[in-house]
Amino acid sequence: MRLDIKKFCLILLSLLYLAISGCATYSRDSLKRQGYQQRGIYHKAKKKETLWRIAKVYDLTVEELVRANNISNAAQIQENQLIFIPGASEQRTLASTKEVFVSDEFKWPVKGKIISYFGNQDLNAANNGIDIKSALGKDVYTSRGGKVVFADYLPGYGQTVMVDHADGYLTVYGQNSDILVSVGDLVASGDPIAKVGTKDSLAFLHFEIRKNSIASNPLYFLP
């Protein structure tokens, strides 16, 4: 009889343990589903703010913001859009484009309509940047200040200029008709560095932004 009671107690304890464990697992899963797995705040985007600017203010990378907000193929950040900032405890104010951030901003190298977006498939290869339709011979401007590290013909890119921005970022300007700079030149944001060329009778600029040699969507950085 004692043996039966002992077995009964062991079974009861086992059932209680499973019940407690199940409740604990359910609680963790519930927290994940409710969004409490990662601490952070929401930043309300203002006019002309970019993921690049928001990331810099909160000491994050653009890639971290993209992952945290599940952003894919976003053409732009809309005014008043809520951006989740992982790890932040308070909202920070971004300086206006006329203040300290202006020297670090990425600018459009040419004005025009985008005819091919980042990730688009072209001849079985994904586009590592964007193609901006423009006029033949139009000036191509530096998107951000830096040092010219390549200025020559590059297979698949045509006449190409690459500018190193000394913080891991590199901008690439391809399919030009003429190159106006040389390797080693220091260029400021907005300096003319090339002329728009043509490919297949279409005048456009191929533009890339790379971080540590990895291509990122330029639209995350451009206003």
Question: Are 147 and 189 contacting, i.e. CB atoms less than 8 angstroms apart?
Answer: no
pTM of the model: 0.69
In DSSP terms, 170 is beta-bridged to 164, 210
Please check the confidence at residue 152 and state whether its pLDDT lies above 90: yes
CA distance 175 to 44: 37
Same domain for 25 and 51, yes or no, is no
Same domain for 124 and 214, yes or no, is yes
Same domain for 49 and 32, yes or no, is no
Please check the confidence at residue 2 and state whether its pLDDT lies above 60: no
Q: Name the least confident of 9-18, 20-29, 191-200, 203-212.
A: 20-29
Same domain for 210 and 141, yes or no, is yes
End-to-end CA distance of the chain: 80
Question: Are 157 and 171 contacting, i.e. CB atoms less than 8 angstroms apart?
Answer: no
CA distance 138 to 111: 10
Q: How many residues does the chain have?
A: 223
Q: Please, what is the average pLDDT of the chain?
A: 81
Please check the confidence at residue 129 and state whether its pLDDT lies above 80: yes
The sign of the dihedral angle between the CA atoms of 123, 128, 132, 138 is negative
Same domain for 4 and 78, yes or no, is no
Please check the confidence at residue 23 and state whether its pLDDT lies above 70: no
